[in-house]
Amino acid sequence: MGSRLGGSRESAANKAYLQGLDLMMKPTRENSYEYAIVEFEAALKTDPNFALARARLAECLARLVLIAGENDNVSEYASRAMHESARALDKAESLPEAYFARALALLANGHDSEAAIFFEMALSERPYLSREVDYFLTGM
């Protein structure tokens, strides 16, 4: 994963990223997203410019908001999702995963029409996301 593609040249960052991605994509425990967040934060501690890890961090934070309903951390997670997704786009402005993370962050913060725009941007590069986008746009 070269930095040009939003990746990292740091092996420790890539290892943490892949562990986080595994936790995020196959949630097998109740707190899989929280554990994935820890791994993405570890990747970013090693390589703060790792845009893909930052996008996935934002995605996990937004997913927690969208599935959690009301709990103590929702507003903090929603705010962090917006911040991290903006930073991911700053690091790699054409990264589809960053568009997707930004869309989820916007959705988690109640900005549905703006989220739809970023979902469309993500879909233009990653059409296989269409089921997941439909899931979020139709009210889960």
Q: Any idea what the CATH number is for the domain that residue 81 is in?
A: 1.25.40.10
Overall domain count for the chain:
1
Which pLDDT value is given to residue 75?
86
The pTM of this model reads 0.89
- Separation between Cα atoms, residue 135 and residue 41, nearest integer Å: 27
The range of the structural domain enclosing residue 95 comes to 3-137
DSSP class of 5: G
Cβ atoms 79, 106 nearer than 8 A:
no
Query: Confidence class of residue 131 from pLDDT cuts 50, 70 and 90?
Result: confident
User: What is the pLDDT averaged over residues 7-21?
Assistant: 90
**Of 41 and 68, which is predicted with more confidence?**
41
pLDDT at 69: 64
Ordered alpha helix ranges (H), 2-109: 11-25, 32-46, 51-68, 74-91, 96-108
Place of tokens 């951390």: 73
In the chain, what percentage of residues exceed pLDDT 90? Answer: 61
